[in-house]
Amino acid sequence: VGDEPLTGARRVVTGPLIGPSPSGRENAFRVEKYGGGYKLVSCRDS
**1-46: pLDDT as tens digits:** 555 555 555 555 555 555 554 554 544 556 666 666 666 666 555 4
3-state secondary structure of 42: strand
pLDDT at 27: 46
If DSSP codes are grouped into helix, strand and coil, which group holds residue 12?
A: strand
Predicted pLDDT of residue 35: 66
Question: Strand 12-16 to strand 28-34: parallel, antiparallel, or no bridges (unpaired)?
Answer: antiparallel
pLDDT value at position 13? 57
Q: Residue 29's pLDDT is what?
A: 57
Instruction: Give burial (CB, 10 Å; 0-12/13-18/19+) of 26.
Output: middle
- Residues with Cβ within 8 Å of 44's Cβ and at least 6 positions away in sequence, in order, are 26, 27, 28
Query: What is the pTM assigned to this prediction?
Result: 0.19
